[in-house]
Amino acid sequence: MARKVKKKRKLKVRKLFTVIFIFTLILLGLAFLTDVKINNIIVKGNNLYSDWEIIKMAKLDDYPSSLKTLSRNIEKNLEKDNYINEVNVERPSLTKVVINVKENLPLFYYLPIDKTILTDKSETKDNFPVPTVINYIPDKVYSKFLKAISSVDYDIVKRISEIKYDPNEVDEGRFFLTMNDGNRVYLTLNKFTKIDNYLDIIKEFDNKKGILYLDSGEYFEVKE
């Protein structure tokens, strides 16, 4: 009977050592993973802020532990900013983070109320290098204008110096744009995104200055 008891004890001891060994491996593995840091951060969609500014706002500038840094916390840190509408964080690997930013961009400075208008229709006193709308736009046209300019390539928006609401007997949604390079453009609300092709159109005229009619006819009138 004594020998059988010894065998049982040996089996129990072996099982105990096996459990301890596995548990130790798990702890070492967790310790190792906890120490793995984020070392590759990619920022996409940003215009107002530099990549590094986004990284700092996300509190990733000290390259924290990957496991301790939750994607939702990164998104919350960034969405606190008034000029950021939405953030989506991707984690393609343990050490890599991709931050997709949708900014609340300043679209134009509205002179009649002395404020800058943002994509979400909010207003701010902050100054940005955006076009100035120099005159009043009626409410029924204003909402359509805001939607139209929001859909324009932001690099092109920044090339516009001034915007004048300039309706005629044919179209109440007509605007006259002065570009930073000295050219001028006529546009209507239903054709506003045509301005996205501005650079390609101007190249065809050997950098001559004039008026580009995109409201009707789509032609360039050279000014000597």
pLDDT at residue 215, as a whole number: 85
The listed CATH number (3.30.479.30, 3.90.25.10, 3.40.50.2020, 3.10.20.310) that belongs to domain 36-103: 3.10.20.310
What local confidence, expressed as pLDDT, does residue 221 receive? 85
In the block, which residue shows the tokens 């360039």? 220
Q: What is the 3-state secondary structure (H, E, C) of 127-194?
A: CCCCCEECCCCCHHHHHHHHHHHHCCCHHHHCCEEEEEECCCCCCCCEEEEEECCCCEEEEEHHHHHH
Q: Which helix (H) or strand (E) holds 199?
A: helix 198-203
Instruction: Give 10-residue mean pLDDT values along the chain (224 residues).
Output: 54 63 56 71 94 96 88 96 95 93 96 96 93 96 95 94 93 95 93 92 84 85 78
What class does CATH assign to 106-222? Answer: alpha beta
pLDDT for the residue 37: 87
Per-domain boundaries in the chain: 36-103, 106-222
* pLDDT of 153: 94
Nearest to 46 by CA among 35, 38, 57, 36: 57
> What per-residue confidence (pLDDT) applies to 29?
52
Contact call for residues 154 and 126 (beta carbons, < 8 A) = no
- Which token pair is 143? 């909402």
- Spatial neighbors of 181 by CB under 8 A, at least 6 apart, are 159, 202, 209
